[in-house]
């Protein structure tokens, strides 16, 4: 499958009792549909996926699929600690019309997942059982487990593994591209060095920032695609600090507040995450003041 362009790592709306807010899922998806993003990923880290039960994920995916524009690619995050749960989630996502699933390496037993053999076994086993393509999710800063370029390249030989979301450095992207070939998709997972990752062969980005300001991410992508160097450098610098604010610094709480600034529904984070205090809100307002929509 073709994975190219900007993908929204979608935040998950909750109401103030902590329940999935389905009408706000619809609101955000319909608003994102008006942009030229390539697609959406639901139930991942930016979407508080580890705090969602299996049935909640299925409800989220159902609402999202019903309201996504037909040209958008739908990705479901099926990360779990075991193959059986990941595969079961992949089957539910496929039945709801999703096109592929994203899976991060299991990480509760970190010492058992450092090695290539265990990682290969997990991803190959999920891919064998999944009715739709699998995308490796590699975010070692969050999981503590790193899928090395050599492992991603070896997994690219599996007919049902379509690519990797690499939340790492441009040099890592270059290694994967060199080892895995051009047919294996590589999506950058961070805004910090997004342009550099594209220059090293990434085919797009799966970005939490796009939940709050998809147009800024799209503008950088279009500048890269049309080789407008001055615009590339300008927009990379514009999104760098906002991207850090809604991932590394303030996480989901910051992301959801940034969404509110731009007319999306962010709402409260799920417990045990704390909503942003006034100082954090002021900082987010400052870094997002020139990024709208």
pLDDT tens-digit series, residues 171-191 = 999 999 999 988 999 999 999
pLDDT at 291: 86
Tell me the pLDDT tens digit for each residue of 5-44. Answer: 999 999 999 999 999 999 999 999 999 999 999 999 999 9
Q: What is the extent of the structural domain holding 281? A: 5-287
Candidates 10, 1, 16; CA nearest to 271 is 16
Sequence-ordered list of residues with C-beta below 8 angstroms from that of 34, at least 6 positions apart, any chain: none
> What would you report as the CA-atom Rg of the chain, rounded to the nearest whole angstrom?
18
Tokens of 133: 């393509």
Tokens 């989220």 identify what position?
A: 60
User: Cα(153)–Cα(150) distance, rounded to whole angstroms?
Assistant: 5
Please report, for the domain that includes residue 250, its CATH number: 3.20.20.70
Tokens of 6: 């900007």
pTM over 0.75: yes
- Residue pair 192/238 in contact (Cβ under 8 Å)? The answer is no
Tell me the pLDDT tens digit for each residue of 96-114. Answer: 999 999 999 999 887 888 8
Q: Region 67-83: what's the mean pLDDT?
A: 97
User: Cα(11)–Cα(213) distance, rounded to whole angstroms?
Assistant: 12
Answer positive or negative: Cα dihedral of 277, 278, 281, 282: negative
Alpha helices (runs of H) in the chain, residue ranges in sequence order: 22-33, 54-67, 83-95, 110-113, 116-129, 140-143, 149-155, 170-180, 194-199, 209-212, 214-225, 229-244, 251-261, 278-287
Confidence band of 293 (pLDDT split at 50, 70, 90):
low
DSSP sequence for 30-70: HHHHTS---EEEESSTTTTGGGS-HHHHHHHHHHHHHHS-T
Tell me the pLDDT tens digit for each residue of 126-158. Answer: 999 999 999 999 999 888 999 999 999 999 999
User: Cα(112)–Cα(127) distance, rounded to whole angstroms?
Assistant: 20
Determine, yes or no, domain membership for 13. yes
Determine, yes or no, domain membership for 292. no
Determine, yes or no, domain membership for 107. yes
pLDDT at 33: 98
Candidates 122, 124, 52; CA nearest to 93 is 52
Confidence band of 210 (pLDDT split at 50, 70, 90):
very high
Dihedral of CA atoms 106, 109, 112, 116 in degrees, nearest 10, equals: 20
Q: How many domains does the chain have?
A: 1
Beta bridge mates, 73: 39
pLDDT at 115 over 90: no
Tell me the pLDDT tens digit for each residue of 245-281. Answer: 999 999 999 999 999 999 999 999 999 999 999 999 9
Determine, yes or no, domain membership for 293. no
Tokens of 18: 């902590």
């Amino acid at each position: 499958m073709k994975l190219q362009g900007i993908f929204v790592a979608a935040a998950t709306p909750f109401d103030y009792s902590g329940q999935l807010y389905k009408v706000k899922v619809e609101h955000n998806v319909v608003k994102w549909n008006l942009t030229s993003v390539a697609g959406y990923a639901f139930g991942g880290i930016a979407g508080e996926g580890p705090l969602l039960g299996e049935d909640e994920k299925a409800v989220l995916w159902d609402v999202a699929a019903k309201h996504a524009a037909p040209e958008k690619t739908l990705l479901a995050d099926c990360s779990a600690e075991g193959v059986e749960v990941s595969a079961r989630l992949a089957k539910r996502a496929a039945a709801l019309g999703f096109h592929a699933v994203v899976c991060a390496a299991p990480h509760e037993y970190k010492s058992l997942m450092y090695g290539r053999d265990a990682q290969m076994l997990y991803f190959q086993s999920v891919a064998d059982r999944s009715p739709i393509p699998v995308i490796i999710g590699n975010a070692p800063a969050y999981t503590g487990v790193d899928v090395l370029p050599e492992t991603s390249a070896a997994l690219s030989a599996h007919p049902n593994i379509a690519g990797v979301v690499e939340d790492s450095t441009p040099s890592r992207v270059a290694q994967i591209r060199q080892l895995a070939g051009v047919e294996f998709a590589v999506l950058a997972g961070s805004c910090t060095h997004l342009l550099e990752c594209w220059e090293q062969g990434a085919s797009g980005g799966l970005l939490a920032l796009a939940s709050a300001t998809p147009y800024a991410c799209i503008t950088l992508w279009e500048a890269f695609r049309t080789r407008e160097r001055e615009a590339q450098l300008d927009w990379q610098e514009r999104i760098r600090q906002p991207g850090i604010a809604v991932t590394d610094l303030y996480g989901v709480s910051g992301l959801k507040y940034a969404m509110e600034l731009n007319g999306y529904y962010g709402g409260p984070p799920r417990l045990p995450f704390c909503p942003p205090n006034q100082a954090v809100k002021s900082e987010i307002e400052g870094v997002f003041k020139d990024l709208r929509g």
